[in-house]
Amino acid sequence: MTDLPPSDDPPPRRNRLRRLPRNVWVVSATSLLTDASTESLTGLLPFYLTLALGAPPAAVGLIEGVGEATASLVKLASGWASDRWRRRKPLAVFGYGLSAAAKPMLLAATTWPLVFLARFLERAGKGIRTAPRDALLADSLPAATRGLGFGLHRAADTAGAVIGTTLALLLVIAGGGQTVSVSTFRTAVLFSLVPAAAGVVLLAWRAREIRPPAIEPSERKAPNPLRERRFRWFVAAMIVFTLGNSSDAFLLLRAQNLGLSIAAAIGLMIVVSLVHALLAAPLGALSDRWGRKPVLLVGWGLYGLVYLSLAITSDSRVLWIVLAVYGVYYAATESVGKALVGDMVASPSRGTAYGQYHAAIGLAALPASLLAGAAWQWIGPDAPFALGALLAGAATVILWRMPAEPVSRNV
């Protein structure tokens, strides 16, 4: 079944949440289930790798960096394919399915290279689904509520992260709170299989396809979004920012380095996710009224302050406040950035645009995580965070200098 494209006429403000299309609610529920599955493992993974399997910090950076880079390269191809095929839903369903199918491999992973393989396939599934899913959301929403719609999706996604991370915390506490054993990790893997499968079924059953307009016969193909100056400028700012934005696995390791137990470190990430989930929709809606760029500038500024604090602090008690602010950064940037891409690029090229956007982030994430792991190992645990703060400042300047948005964003 195919929905008609959304009208650009904004509903009354008080009715905006109620009038969000079904696709937003279905995709949001799917993301909640999938993140509950994935994050029940992500919070344990760096400790499982370093404590149970004996992997060095550089291996953690390699696994996370290659995984994210792989996902982003696949996003580029799947986004382009969804434009060419003029279908978003089948690719999104297949991507969620591949990620779910990769998780059982972790049950047999007793060395870090096997974890690497499983993580690679799981991230490849994420790459296949993300750009078509984001394009489906953008096509389902008028610009006047696009920030709210993407914000609701991120709120649900992050609520799933809270559920998954809380389970990981409970499993660590049950195991004594000081390590992550093989049995603890395998229990988490078994739990993760149920919501992962449920999310795939829900998306396949309830989401509606929205086909982007066909390319005019006079045009052989959709225009390349990177030819648009403003979109190109935004992607450049994202690359600079991401080079200093290493995997959150290093936040967990930093918390442990400052004296927190593994259980407390995972608790910190729950705080991050709770703040993110609570503020994602309100800040997304704020970007509908105030514009995307001001909200993004505030978010990146907060990120720089958080990373600077992590570089200079020696008091683990400060981490609870710092990581709560980190949740605000997430809420102000992830959904708003995606909404901005939808504003900049028309529907026939949106899959490609989201693929390019995510590919740029992921390709920068590989050297970011590798550099962070090397800096930690050879300079000290404060080095990755000092670098992140510096690059966040540079990216904020580039974003601030980005050309002004068009008078109308209703495209």
In the predicted structure, residue 270 carries a pLDDT above the cut 90 = no
Mean pLDDT of 220-240: 87
Going from the N-terminus, what domains does the chain have, and what CATH number goes with each?
23-211+222-400 (1.20.1250.20)
Encode pLDDT of 326-355 as tens digits: 999 999 999 999 999 999 998 889 999 999
Confidence of residue 3 (pLDDT cuts 50, 70, 90): very low
d(CA 147, CA 285): 5
From first CA to last CA, the distance across the chain in angstroms is 23
Confidence of residue 380 (pLDDT cuts 50, 70, 90): confident
DSSP string, 75-138: HHHHHHHHHHHT--HHHHHHHHHHHHHHGGGGGG--SHHHHHHHHHHHHHHHHHHHHHHHHHHH
Q: Are 289 and 336 in contact (CB under 8 A)?
A: no
Encode pLDDT of 232-268 as tens digits: 999 999 999 999 888 787 888 888 888 888 778 878 8
Q: Which token pair is 331?
A: 């809420």
Highest mean pLDDT: which range of 93-102, 110-119, 317-326, 358-367: 93-102
Backbone angles phi, psi at 384, to 5 degrees: -60, -30
In the predicted structure, residue 4 carries a pLDDT above the cut 50 = no
Encode pLDDT of 58-89 as tens digits: 787 788 777 767 777 898 899 999 999 999 99
20: amino acid identity, one letter: L
How many H-runs (helices) and E-runs (strands) does the chain carry? 14, 0
Q: Residue 363 CB: number of other CB atoms within 10 A?
A: 17
Q: Are 396 and 304 in contact (CB under 8 A)?
A: yes
- Give the largest CA-CA distance in the chain: 67
d(CA 166, CA 170): 6
